[in-house]
Amino acid sequence: MTGGLANPLAARDHARAMAGTVVDAMPVLPPVAADLPAGVEPGDLLWEETVAPGGYATRRLVRGSRVRLIDLAGDACASMLIYNAEMPTERLNVADTVKVQWNGYLGAGKLLLSDMGRVMMSILEDGAATHDVFCGTSNAATNEAKYGEGRNSGAFPNGRDRLLLGSAKHGLQRRDVHPCVNLFKGTRIEADGAITPLVGPFEAGREIVLRAEMDVIVVLANCSHVLDPRDDWQVSPLRISAWRGPVTDQDDPVRCATPEGLRAFENVEDYYRR
Amino acid sequence: MTADPATGGLPGAVVHDEIVPARAPWLHHIAAGQTLRIIDVEGNQAVDFLLYADADDAERYSSQDTVAAQGNLFLRQGSVLRSNEGRAMMTITGTSVAYHDTIGGACSCESNTLRYGHHTKAQHACVENFLEANLSEGRGKRDMVPNINFFMNVPVEEDGSLGIVDGISAPGLTVDLRADMDVVVVVSNCPQINNPCNAFNPTPVRMIVAA
């Protein structure tokens, strides 16, 4: 028995009294951001949310949307999946992303490619330069081995289970959760293939801005990098803002930067020719 | 009767022995404890390779979990091929090639349009093989993930530059894989003719299973 909540109206009043509570990690509805870039109208803001350490967030975004991620305190790790929103069997393909661009490191001007030869998102600005396409995210076994447990219901959730829940919110299942990219936590590949993790912690406030080149579903998990060498579980909040923007035009420098990338944009433009 | 040198060193009796033609798919169920030997019969033939857990095919090979767990991008003798849930699926118990690739993925009609141009759209590709084989057992597009490329060479330079370059395999070189669980092996004998992965000439490979 909880004193005073024995009838539905008392329970209702108790629940309603929570309204207006503000915590560090939560969505802001309607979205408000005091630091939008010059030229972005407040009315074009689509999404404003801070993801807790160990948390996840997901949203469908229309083509042209800009997505800004901020590593608020220097220890966020944004593991990201991307699906084609209208046909989620098309999704981010990390192998094609590195092979087609002849390079394994992400940064400004790089494209995130689907398994259908199309660019799903592009990176417009990158204040971090430490990212990782090779290692993927943690799973229940790796977190249990490292931190003692890794359950969604525990203190050290693993990235795969967070991405599974985020994908499930769109009706997707285990076989849909594909290899991810990690933003803000990086890796460097040595000459013999050895993987050196670059996990910081880094200076607070590093930003990356992406542009949706298709109508996409993004799923973001904020869990410690799978190769984070620190014994204790260290992650800090991840801030997400997104706003409306124009679809990439024919003269866009990212679109035209390489012949392979240009064909990835041409394939997107062909897909939307309807 | 003369012993076939291609079966030398296998840990048990041969229960299956098959030549996969150039450009073709191959699917085979392999029980825990059995060993699969892949022979690059004519040399420098990329063998695109996927694994699914036989008991639950939503669990499948994960290049990311595999390289993260071993802290290295290249697959060598001793490498454990891990699933998307972190479990050991197969182990490379021996190979006469220095290392194999698992970051380059499979060629597809669609990615070929990016890498080479739209004139290659109609060429046969590994994803076509993977889909054809997987569809025979009810799997499909959602089950496609980045694979292993045995006998394929993808070095990564200091600035991150990478690409499929001339092979380091040769006629008769092998890789031996011990199944650590019951698995479905799905292979595309790579038909690519626009890069050096097959020395611009796709050739047959041989699959031997020992139990």
- Per-residue pLDDT band at B5 (split at 50, 70, 90): confident
Could you count the other beta carbons within 10 Å of the beta carbon of residue A39?
7
Average pLDDT over every residue of B87-105? 97
Q: Which residues of B touch A104 (CB under 8 A)?
A: 103, 156, 160-162
Tens digit of each residue's pLDDT (9 = 90 or more) over A128-137: 999 999 999 9
Would the CB atoms of A263 and B114 count as touching at under 8 Å?
yes
Greatest pairwise CA separation for chain B in angstroms = 55
**Which chain B residue has the Cα nearest residue A266?**
B114
Q: What pLDDT shows up at residue A4?
A: 79
pLDDT over 90 at A20, yes or no = yes
CB contact under 8 A, A89 and B164: no
Task: Output the average pLDDT for chain A.
Answer: 97
At A94 the pLDDT is 98
Chain A interface, mutation test: which of B48, B111, B130, B194, most A Cβ atoms within 10 Å? B111
pLDDT tens, B59-69? 999 999 999 99
By Cβ distance, the residue of B85, B99, B146 closest to A139 is B85
* Contact list, A118 vs chain B (CB under 8 Å): 110
Chain A residues lying within 8 Å of B159, measured CB to CB: 103, 105
Locate B120 and state its tokens: 């290659």
Question: Which residue among A117, A136, A176 sits closest to B68, beta carbon to beta carbon?
Answer: A136
> Is B186 in a helix, a strand, or coil?
strand
DSSP state, residue A247: P
Nearest CB among B105, B110, B161 relative to A95 is that of: B105
With the CA atoms of B70, B75, B77 and B79 taken in that order, what torsion angle do they form, in degrees rounded to the nearest 10? 30
pLDDT for position A3: 67
Minimum-distance CB partner of B146 among A94, A104, A175: A94
Within an 8 Å CB–CB cutoff, is residue A186 touching chain B? no
The model's pTM is: 0.97
A271 CB neighbours in chain B (<8 A) are none
If you average pLDDT over residues A116-128, what whole number do you get?
Answer: 98
Distance, in angstroms, between B3 CA and closest chain A CA?
Answer: 38
Q: Nearest to residue A101, comparing CAs of B163, B110, B190?
A: B163
CA–CA separation, B115 vs B122, rounded Å?
14
DSSP A85: T
Q: What is the pLDDT of residue B1?
A: 53
**Mean pLDDT along residues A223-230:** 97
Q: Which amino acid is at B1?
A: M
pLDDT at B169: 93
Interval A43-95: pLDDT, tens: 999 999 999 999 999 999 999 999 999 999 999 999 999 999 999 999 999 99
> CB distance B113–A95 less than 8 Å?
no
pLDDT of res. A35: 97
Is the per-residue pLDDT at A33 higher than 80?
yes
CB of A170 within 8 Å of a chain B CB? The answer is no
pLDDT of B120 reads 97
pLDDT tens for each residue of B109-165: 999 999 999 999 999 999 999 999 999 999 999 999 999 999 999 999 999 999 999
Mean pLDDT of all residues in chain B? Answer: 96
How many angstroms separate the CA of residue A164 from the nearest CA in chain B? Answer: 12
Task: Give the three-state DSSP class for B91.
Answer: strand
Mean pLDDT of the A228-234 span: 95
Does A1 have pLDDT greater than 70? no
pLDDT in tens, B159-203: 999 999 999 999 999 999 999 999 999 999 999 999 999 989 999
